[in-house]
Amino acid sequence: MFKRRHELAGATVNVVIEGASLTVAAGETVAAAALAAGLDHLRTTPVRGAPRAPWCMMGVCFDCLMVIDGVPNRQACMTRVRDGMTIERQHGARGFPS
């Protein structure tokens, strides 16, 4: 959905987005990495299962909620990528560990 203007230069990290291993720029937000990775939606909604992607990119809309390192309900636009991070779509409302 979004593309980098320039090739990845400088520090990079490896993350796993929806099961696929990817190299992304260190310090990038998870939302940016997900959009550049070609994800056309970051979550599906609790009420209707509708696909959603970011609206505000600044932490007020909460439409970018993803499961990051196994923790649900994390705002992807407010979370920086880290080496080895797992990033998954959140489907519906957050789950709770049993």
Partner 1 sequence: MSGRYDLVVVGAGPAGLAAAVEAAGLGLSSLVLDEQEAPGGQIYHAIEAAADARPDDVAVLGEDYRYGAALVRTFRAAGVAYRPGANVWQVEGDGSLGYSVGGAAHVVSGRRVLVATGAMERAVPLPGWTLPGVMGAGAAQLLLKSAGMVPEGRVVVAGNGPLLLLVAAQLVAAGAEVAALLETTDWRDYRAAARYLPAALRAHHYLVKGLALRRTLRRAGVPIHSGVRDLAALGDGRVERVRFTRGGRSREIAAATLLLHAGVVPNTQITRQAGCAHEWYAPQRYWRPVVDAWGNTSVGAVMVAGDGGGVFGARAAEIGGRIAALEAGRALGALTERMRDRRAAPLRAGLRRERAIRPLLDHLFRPEPWIAAPTDDATVVCRCEEVSAGALREAVALGCLGPNQAKAFTRCGMGPCQGRICGLTVAEVIAAARGVAVAEVGCLRIRPPIKPLTLGELAAIEPGDANG
73 touches partner 1 by CB under 8 A: yes
Residue 20 buriedness (CB in 10 A; 0-12 / 13-18 / 19+): exposed
| Min CB(27)–partner 1 separation in Å | 6
Would you give the DSSP letter of residue 94? Answer: P
| Min CB(23)–partner 1 separation in Å | 14
DSSP sequence for 16-64? EETTEEEEEETT-BHHHHHHHTT-S-SEE-TTT--EE--SSSSSSS-TT
| Min CB(21)–partner 1 separation in Å | 19
Residue selected from 13, 22, 29, 67 as contacting partner 1 according to rule CB under 8 A:
29
95 touches partner 1 by CB under 8 A: no
Residues contacting residue 92 through CB under 8 Å, at least 6 positions apart = 44, 45, 46, 49
| Min CB(81)–partner 1 separation in Å | 10
Contacting positions for partner 1 (CB under 8 A): 1-6, 9-10, 25, 27-29, 32, 35-36, 40-41, 45, 47-48, 50-63, 65, 73, 78, 80
